[in-house]
Amino acid sequence: MQLRDIERNLESQPLFCQGLSTSLKGALMQNNFILSPSLLSCDFANLEQELKGLEEADIKWVHWDVMDGHFVPNITLGPPIIKKCRPKTSLFFDVHLMIESPEIYLKDFKEAGADLLCVHAEACIHLDSVVTKISELGIKPAVALNPHTPVEIIEYILPKLYMVLIMSVNPGFGGQKFIPYSIQKIKKLRKMIDQQGLDTLIQVDGGVTLENVKSIVEAGANVVVSGSAFFKHPPYKKRHRKFIEAISKK
């Protein structure tokens, strides 16, 4: 097959492959999922080195957990840290806002270098408006749903979303166990997306391990977030390969 034929074929692939380099498109289609390691579990004293380590491990996305101590019972980081790190890496910045009134800070995170902004449905009174504002800033819009929140709440705005995040733990702290009913929730969301003929990504965050990642992807997810189950098991390249193998095994 000629190179131009390969590129033409990749351009017809789902939305999450659009606008990416040919090498990255091929990797995503081959692995059938994206691993977005959560920096919540990394060594913050050596953040630049951690980001470089992810690049060397062939990771393409990195997950930033932003917490304000109000929407969730924990405080982490904000735009200044993300902005300092942006020039240090070419990783896709997947920024998860676990904060109240996120619409106030959208521009700040855009200027900090976020590639994707994910807001919680529970934190937005006017969710459609917030999603529209994210898109207008030129950032990929996403919405997160806490474990108790039904997927039907975002049914009418699905066409506007690049990604939906299913929280499979109650947000706020890393190292929690995966909530089993999340699998049925992923399946329901996948059905909704398929029925509307969309390419919206499904991300799953919370308690993702080598033992359950296959069932998560088989249920319909195509982006998985892993914190302690990834960062606590260096070297990162080997750990990334372990996740790929876990999904591929029969």
* Contact present, 59 and 223 (Cβ < 8 Å): no
State residue 32's pLDDT score.
Answer: 80
Residue ranges for the chain with pLDDT beneath 50: 1-16, 18-29
State residue 14's pLDDT score.
Answer: 47
Closest CA to 53 of 64, 39, 33, 32: 39
State residue 29's pLDDT score.
Answer: 47
Query: What whole-number distance in Å separates Cα of residue 202 and Cα of residue 167?
Result: 11
Query: What whole-number distance in Å separates Cα of residue 230 and Cα of residue 234?
Result: 8
pLDDT, tens digit, 9 for 90 and up, residues 25-62: 444 445 689 999 999 999 999 999 999 999 999 999 99
Residue in the structure block whose two tokens are 């630049």: 48
State residue 171's pLDDT score.
Answer: 81
How many C-beta atoms surround the C-beta of residue 7 within 10 A? 12
DSSP code for 176: P
CA atoms within 13 A on the CB side of 72: 22
Which residues are known to be catalytic? 65, 205
The class (CATH top level) of 31-248 is: alpha beta
Residue 31, classified by CB atoms within 10 Å of its CB into exposed (0-12), middle (13-18) or buried (19+), is middle
CA-to-CA dists, residue 105 to 77, 119, 200, angstroms: 13, 11, 24
Tokens, residue 5: 């034929």
Tokens, residue 14: 């789902």
Task: Spell out the long-range contacts of 7-14 with Cβ–Cβ below 8 A and sequence spacing 24 or more.
Answer: 14/199
Query: What whole-number distance in Å separates Cα of residue 66 and Cα of residue 80?
Result: 12
| Secondary structure class of 196 (helix, strand, coil) | coil
- For residue 102, report the phi and psi dihedrals to the nearest 5 degrees: -60, -25
Query: What whole-number distance in Å separates Cα of residue 22 and Cα of residue 217?
Result: 23
Length of the chain: 250
Residue in the structure block whose two tokens are 């957990």: 65
Helices and strands of the chain, counted as H and E runs: 10, 8
30 CB-near residues (< 8 Å, 6+ apart): none
